[in-house]
Structure 1
Amino acid sequence: MNIGQVAQLTGLSSKSIRLYEDKGIITPPLRSASGYREYGSQHLQELNLVSRAKSAGFSLAECKEFVELAHNPQRKSSEVKAKAQEKLKEVEMKIHQLQEIEKQLKQWVSSCPGNGDSQCPIIDDLTK
Structure 2
Amino acid sequence: MNIGQASSFSGVSAKMIRYYEQIGLIPRAMRSDAGYRNYSAPDAHRLRFIRRARDLGFSVEQIAELLVLWRDRERASAHVKEMALSHVAGLKAKIAELQAMAHMLEHLADHCHGNDRPDCPILADLAEPAGAEQGPQARHKSPRFGVDTPASSRHRAAMVAPS
TM-score, with normalisation over the residues of structure 1?
A: 0.90
Q: Distance in 1 between matches of 2:125 and 2:60?
A: 39
Backbone CA RMSD of aligned residues = 1.6
Which fold has the larger relative contact order, with Cα–Cα distance below 8 Å and residues 6 or more apart in sequence? 1
Q: Distance in 2 between matches of 1:101 and 1:43?
A: 41
- The change in CA–CA distance for 1:123 and 1:12 in structure 2 (over 3 A counts) is closer
Which residue is 1:79 aligned to? Answer: 79
**Which structure 1 residue ranges, 5 or more long, are not aligned?**
none
Letter in 1 for 2:118: S
* Residues 62-104 of structure 1: CA deviation (Å, up to 9, x unaligned): 1111111111122211111111111101100000011111111
Higher helix share: 1
Q: Distance in 2 between matches of 1:33 and 1:119?
A: 68
SS in 2 for 1:115: coil
Q: Distance in 1 between matches of 2:125 and 2:29?
A: 57
Map 1:77-116 to 2 at 5 A: 77-116=77-116
Identity rate of aligned residues, in percent? 36
TM-score, with normalisation over the residues of structure 2?
A: 0.72
Q: Distance in 2 between matches of 1:122 and 1:14?
A: 42
- State how many pairs are aligned: 128
**Which structure 2 residue ranges, 5 or more long, are not aligned?**
129-142, 144-163
Letter in 2 for 1:111: H
Q: Distance in 1 between matches of 2:107 and 2:25?
A: 44
Write out the 4+ residue segments of structure 1 that deviate beyond 6 Å after TM superposition: none
- The change in CA–CA distance for 1:109 and 1:74 in structure 2 (over 3 A counts) is same
